[in-house]
Amino acid sequence: MRAGGLAAIPYINVEPDVVCSLVQDTIFSRSPKGLKNTGIFIGGRDTQQAMDMLASAQKSMFTPFEVSVFADPSGAFTKAAAMVAVVEDKLNTEFDTTLEDKTILALGGTGPVGQIVSVLAAQAGANVTIIGRQLDKAQRIADMCNQKFGAGKISIAAGVDTKKAEYIKTADVVFATGAAGIELLSAELVTSATQLKVAADVNAVPPSGVVGLDAFDNGTAIVGSNSGAIGVGALAIGNVKYQVQSMLLKKMTEVEKPIFLHFEHAFATAREFIQAAK
């Protein structure tokens, strides 16, 4: 990253075992002074691999040959951070409560966004269940999130999609994080969700993941809800996600010492942005 602009050099199909050599090719090709204007962005689609690459990149450097690194595979880290931060804010402003001890369902939660949404909510004290079409896969993802991302300090559960009608009865928050264009929370489920406070959908492609929810909704009452639940649409979340990603990329160019950014830093930044925007 250089002052006055951004020069991006992409590398595709990068495997974890070549991260060290790529990083060292970067840091040794210029002077320590010149490294201040350089940063590494880790994309891809695999959250676990992105975190492994981030750790590998950090281990490949030493003073004064260091640059900042930001992991955000498929934008999942910043998108999940924005989603949880927006819902947390709605719980606070509309229901005078927090994520702590809330029962949360991550519908379609086995994908990248669902994984990180679940981890962030669990770290905030919520009781989270990842819901997937296959219970064994949902359990495998939940176990990975608990150990890999939560360092064994959180306990995310797993559930199967066919039992949503049972789970929804005690849910306080629903995160719809499945594939675009698939309705995950139906009108029938909304009606039976007697404790539901907030439902958020991360996909803008119709139909919404939450029945009747518009992509622009930002605290709009959900039609048919008997609990006074409100909805947050994909574009309301997307605005925060875009700001967070931009802020973190900018931060990489402003710090005196290299920083290594991932979903926890994105969540802290999303919280700060929301508060500053009030």
DSSP H or E segment with residue 127? strand 127-132
Q: What is the pTM of this model?
A: 0.94
> Which pLDDT value is given to residue 1?
38
- Burial label for 168, CB within 10 Å (0-12, 13-18, 19+), is buried
Confidence at 4, pLDDT banded by 50, 70, 90: very low
Round the average pLDDT of the chain to a whole number and report it.
93
DSSP assignment of 8-47 equals -----S--GGGHHHHHHHHHTTS-TTGGGG-EEEE-SS-H
Express each pLDDT in 240-253 by its tens digit: 999 999 999 999 88
Whose CA is closest to 176, among 131, 230, 223? 131
Rounded Cα–Cα distance for residues 128 and 103 (Å): 6
Alpha-carbon distance of 124 to 196, in angstroms, equals 18
**Residue 220: enclosing H or E segment and its boundaries?**
strand 218-221
Work out the pLDDT band at 2, boundaries 50, 70, 90.
Answer: very low
Distances 72 to 75, 134, 171, 197 between C-alpha atoms, Å:
5, 26, 29, 29
| Percentage of the chain modeled with pLDDT above 90 | 82
Reported as a single tens digit per residue, the pLDDT across 88-139 is 999 999 999 999 999 999 999 999 999 999 999 999 999 999 999 999 999 9
pLDDT above 60 for 3: no
Q: What is the pLDDT of residues 54-71, one digit of tens each?
A: 999 999 998 888 899 999
pLDDT of 191 reads: 97
State the pLDDT confidence band at 193, using cuts at 50, 70 and 90. very high
For residue 41, which phi and psi values (nearest 5 degrees)?
A: -115, 125
In this predicted structure, the answer to whether residue 161 has a pLDDT above a threshold of 90 is: yes
Rounded distance between C-alpha atoms, residue 235 and residue 232, angstroms: 9
Q: How many residues does the chain have?
A: 278
Domains recognised in the chain with CATH numbers: 16-75+240-276 (3.40.50.10280), 96-237 (3.40.50.720)
Contacts of 255 (CB under 8 A, 6+ apart): 68
- CB neighbourhood size of 218 (10 A): 15
Which of 137-141, 156-160, 204-208, 261-265 bottoms out in mean pLDDT, i.e. has the lowest? 204-208
